[in-house]
Amino acid sequence: MRPSSSNPSEPAVRVLYWFRTDLRLHSSPALHAALALQPEVIFPVWTWDPNYVFAHRVGVNRFGFLLECMQDLSASLTALNPNTKLLVVRGAPQTVLPRLFQEWRISHIVYEIDRAGYGARRDLQVSALASQAGIKVISVVGNTLYDLKEVVELNGGKATLSLASWHAAVKKCPQPARPLPAPTTFPPLGDTSFSQAYPSLDVPIDYSTDLNNGIRNREVTCFDTFSGPKGDFGVPAIDELGLSRPTTSIRGGESEALRRLAVFCADKDRVAHFSKPQTSPAEFDPPETTLLSPFLKFGCLSVHEFFWRVRDTVASWEGGGPGKKPATKEPENLQGQLHFREMYNAAEYAEGIHFGRIYKNSVCRFIDWDLRDEFGQDGAKIIPRPLGDPRAEEWFLAWKEGRTGFPWIDAIMRQLRQEGWIHHLARHSVACFLTRGQCYISWERGAEVFDEYLLDWDPCANPGNWMWLSASAFYHMYYRVYGVQSFPKKYDKTGKLVRKFCPELSKFPDQFIYAPHLAPLEVQLSAGCVIGQDYPMPMLDDVAEKKRCMTRLKVAYALGLYGSDGAVLDGTADSLLKEGYRQALAGIKSDKKQGQKKSRTVSGGDGPSPSNLTTDVKTMATKELKHGSGSIEGFLTKKRKRD
């Protein structure tokens, strides 16, 4: 509580603390800034935003996880002061917060900076409204280790497209601050009444396209009132969102985040030798990774707390004596994983609104994927997306629903839908399969499904990872593909993940678990699952489709277009790529007839044209043979031998 002022005319400090990406009390720089004001009262507010409910793809598991995080935070606030709790206000923050400023006589609004996507635009609007109302605005960096604005400025205003460029920028920054302690006391709530009865929402909640309509089974009622059905600003119930109960076994909240972190860090040897690529995507109960990403996404776990807990754990392990196996280095270690997160955040901040799509995205290669986003003449994205090639649409839906006929892919997608989380190498497998590996479907469609299913969806990391895995940005060895049988066998020859999430295949012998269509009919009958009846046949020839994808990607790389280039914006890029692909196929047929392959020097100029694309494709193919093309698992085996 703020001490009594010697000057009775001095206005009382009445703080509205706006929770968003920081659903925690520990190590919250913005919350510390609010409490440092020594306010007379503090209103802990969450605005239940219709933009998130209708205009973002959010599945039932992430909604449920968020609600648990909010409930846990509210209970923690009440534990500090029985006269406070989290106040959930229903409506767009741009509309409801000005009401609160006036009715609750707010002097300051304090919040953690959100520089990504819609959050950044929303915050600019709210900050302007608060300033117009005479409210002091205090915004503090806390969701990232470094200030993204500073990092991008140090990188020359450009996106950080590699860890090397990110490291070069942040080496000029102070090291991340130590985590701050959680408060032990908390100021009381002020009077939350209004000068008149709580209004019904007279703000038009008019989203003509509800992106989550397909998963709702009842009417959305969470916006029927301003302060909730009981008038107590309570956390919404899942049925108010028109949704059924979540299916994930992963519980949300700061308490659970800190418990998981403590358990993981108790094993110092495990922390010191953690290497993300060496962890198995087939393990699920428990997984071989931390499974802390959903908690970082909602700010239930402070990134500073995670960073320093890991660093201190490794330091104490190294102090235990000589002769130990060295600790894992970046980027494979836990610190490196946080740095990837920072790299994607900085890249998104630099690129802005176009980062989550191909069109106008200057860092994303233009590849003529099937089922890309489409845009009108006014440049606006067309929603709902017009249907594309029927075969591609069929493949996409089968991939999303886990019925491709490839058990490794199907098990991962079913795990994702049920649990809202999958191992990072599992994400690699299904993303590669959908895009550059076999299906040649736009990464935008895959990102869209992950938007819905993932607990840890992030507006920076999700599109960033999809660009990486489709070899559209960040990563360019498009010819290294994850095998649908060989890759999972490297981690688990028994197929435990398949047996768990594709139970119809659970009785197949290990020999056929990743390719049950190759099992003799008597084996299928013995397993109680006939392929083509009880489980689908493979929907495509993975070897033939991989070759087709490689040829088309070689053409796209040779052409060298990006999402912001003129040929993409004026619509001529597709015809250039189609002509290049036609020439590439003609060249391949010609080479087969001659019984030999020829390569010529790429001609000069500003970039390849359709007339020299065949030459460029052949040159790139020669480079791939020199550097070792093929599968991811082959590459990883060679790397382990070198290491």
Contact 43, 104 (CB under 8 A): yes
Which residues are documented as binding site? 289-293, 337-344, 456-458
Report the alpha-carbon distance of residue 400 to residue 403 in Å, rounded. 8
What letter does residue 481 receive in the DSSP assignment?
E
CA distance 425 to 419: 16
Q: Which residues does the annotation place in the binding site for FAD?
A: 289-293, 337-344, 456-458
**Cis peptide upstream of residue 384 (ω within 30 degrees of 0):** yes
Closest CA to 427 of 298, 541, 293: 293
Rg (CA), the chain: 27
Q: How far apart are the first and last CA of the chain?
A: 58
HSE-up of residue 618 (Cα within 13 Å, Cβ side):
20
Strand, helix or coil for residue 465 = helix
- Angle at CA 16, nearest 5°, toward 15 and 20? 140
Residue 636's SS3 state is: helix
> 506-516 burial, b if ≥16 CB within 10 A, otherwise e?
bebeeebbbbb
3 state DSSP class of 497: helix
Q: 18 has which bridge partners?
A: 45, 111
Q: How far apart are CA 57 and CA 37, in angstroms?
A: 37
| Alpha helices, H only, 366-504 | 390-401, 407-419, 424-432, 443-453, 461-469, 486-491, 496-501
Q: Helix (H, G, I), strand (E, B), or coil: what is residue 535?
A: strand
DSSP-assigned beta bridge partners for residue 46:
88
